[in-house]
Amino acid sequence: LGPTIVVGEILVEIMARTRGVGFLEPIDLIGPFPSGAPAIFIDQCAKIGGAAGIIASVGDDDFGRLNVERLRRDGADVSAISVSPDYPTGSAFVRYRADGSRDFVYNIAKSAAGLLALTADAKAMIARAGHLHVMGTALAIPEVWAILDHAIGIIKGRGGSISLDPNLRKELLGGQTEERFARLIDVADLLLPSGDELFVAGKADGEAAATAALFGRAVTEIALKRGEGGSTFFGADGSRIDCQAFAVDEVDPTGAGDCFGGAYVASRRLGMPAAMALEYANAAGARNVAVLGPMEGAGSRRELDAFIATTPRHGV
Ligand code: ADP
């Protein structure tokens, strides 16, 4: 029915090489790496072989070109990425504390990412799209919501589908963002929650109650991300499939959920059964945490097949 599309921020990430050191003195950094949750998602989609495109905005600089060239090389449609002459591509500096938690310094608010608009190229991409993937964080950004609102109506109107990665943060709940989230829950076919997002989305405490509440709406399937615990598929017909995580050394967890989502959505849209899509998604998530850089672990179908064939699983 047409490509999978996503809307949102593109940026670069620059990382501290060593855990436990702060940004209060000069340290060894590595980067820039292409980044931005929507960009990571769509790169993994395209790499697995699904038609995929992104609506985004970058600056007229090497950080922007790095992203656009990577996405293009990996097979994504970059025709709706606009180039701002006035603002730079956003960036994020990240370091890991000794306990593994992350500390970010962002330069995004006044970057090209804030200039997202419904351009003629964006409209054309939406007009040919068959699936829209929405990141919950986008709901708080007025420019992104305006584009999503337009895209939801058009894509649903022509029989397309919608997936939602809730990315819920407490500060996003309440007011307009919560209303937008409720609207999305009413139109989303596929949900990709992690942690307790399933319970927040389903407004219930247990898995059974939360999934039942969601299946009473438009949702027909849920792929629950459990980090090192792997993932679980829930179908509207009551089916459930558990998939154990691959055993890898976690080097950099940024982007795992986005790679998981990109692989899952693309695999399902290519017609694979849920169990197979879950397997590819688990592999994409695990490959991603095992390397430095948020998008560096995204894999082609062949790379994911090789990873699945050679990597042991947790608990086996
Ligand atoms: P999110 O980033 O959205 O919270 P997760 O952290 O659950 O998502 O990661 C998504 C998927 O990536 C998991 O379901 C799992 O398949 C894989 N994954 C994440 N972390 C690890 C890990 N440490 N080891 C193996 N697989 C992982």
pLDDT one-digit tens code per residue, 102-127: 999 999 989 999 899 999 999 999 99
SS3 66: helix
Distance CA 231, CA 208 (A): 16
Mutual angle of helices 37-48 and 256-269, in 10-degree steps:
40
Distance CA 113, CA 231 (A): 31
User: Which two tokens mark 242?
Assistant: 């558990």
Q: Report the atom number in ligand 1 closest to the C-alpha of 243.
A: 16
Distance 258 CA to ligand 1 centre (A): 9
Distance 281 CA to ligand 1 centre (A): 9
Q: List the one residue out of 171, 12, 37, 7 whose CA is nearest residue 105.
A: 12
Q: Report the atom number in ligand 1 closest to the C-alpha of 167.
A: 3
The finding on whether 260 has its CB within 6 A of some atom of ligand 1 is: yes
H, E, C per residue of 138-152 = HHHCHHHHHHHHHHH
pLDDT single digits (tens) 44-54: 999 999 899 99
- The answer to whether 115 and 92 are in contact (CB under 8 A) is no
> Which residue from 260, 304, 313, 316 has its CB within 8 A of the most atoms of ligand 1, so it is best to mutate?
260
The finding on whether 285 has its CB within 6 A of some atom of ligand 1 is: yes
List, in sequence order, every beta strand (DSSP E) within the chain: 4-7, 11-16, 29-35, 52-59, 81-84, 90-96, 102-107, 131-135, 161-165, 190-191, 221-225, 231-235, 240-243
Beta-bridged to residue 156, according to DSSP, are: none
Distance 153 CA to ligand 1 centre (A): 32
Kindly report the protein residue whose alpha carbon is nearest to atom 20 of ligand 1.
Answer: 227
Residue 156 pLDDT > 90: yes
Residue 171 pLDDT > 80: no
User: Which two tokens mark 287?
Assistant: 């490959």
Kindly report the protein residue whose alpha carbon is nearest to atom 2 of ligand 1.
Answer: 257
More confident residue, 51 or 176: 51
pLDDT single digits (tens) 262-308: 999 999 999 999 999 999 999 999 999 999 999 999 999 999 999 99
The finding on whether 226 has its CB within 6 A of some atom of ligand 1 is: yes
Q: Report the atom number in ligand 1 closest to the C-alpha of 231.
A: 14
pLDDT for position 172:
63
User: Which two tokens mark 269?
Assistant: 């849209």
The finding on whether 44 has its CB within 6 A of some atom of ligand 1 is: no
Can you give the pTM of this predicted structure? Answer: 0.97
**Sequence-ordered alpha helix ranges (H) in the chain:** 37-48, 62-73, 120-128, 142-157, 175-187, 197-202, 207-215, 256-269, 274-289, 301-310
Residue 143 pLDDT > 70: yes
* CA separation, residue 41 to residues 44, 228, 233, 253, 297 (Å): 5, 19, 19, 14, 11
Q: Which of the four pLDDT bands, split at 50, 70 and 90, describes residue 139?
A: confident
Q: Which of the four pLDDT bands, split at 50, 70 and 90, describes residue 316?
A: low
Cα 52 from chain centroid? 13
What mean pLDDT comes out for the span 209-228? 94
Kindly report the protein residue whose alpha carbon is nearest to atom 12 of ligand 1.
Answer: 285
What mean pLDDT comes out for the span 160-179? 84
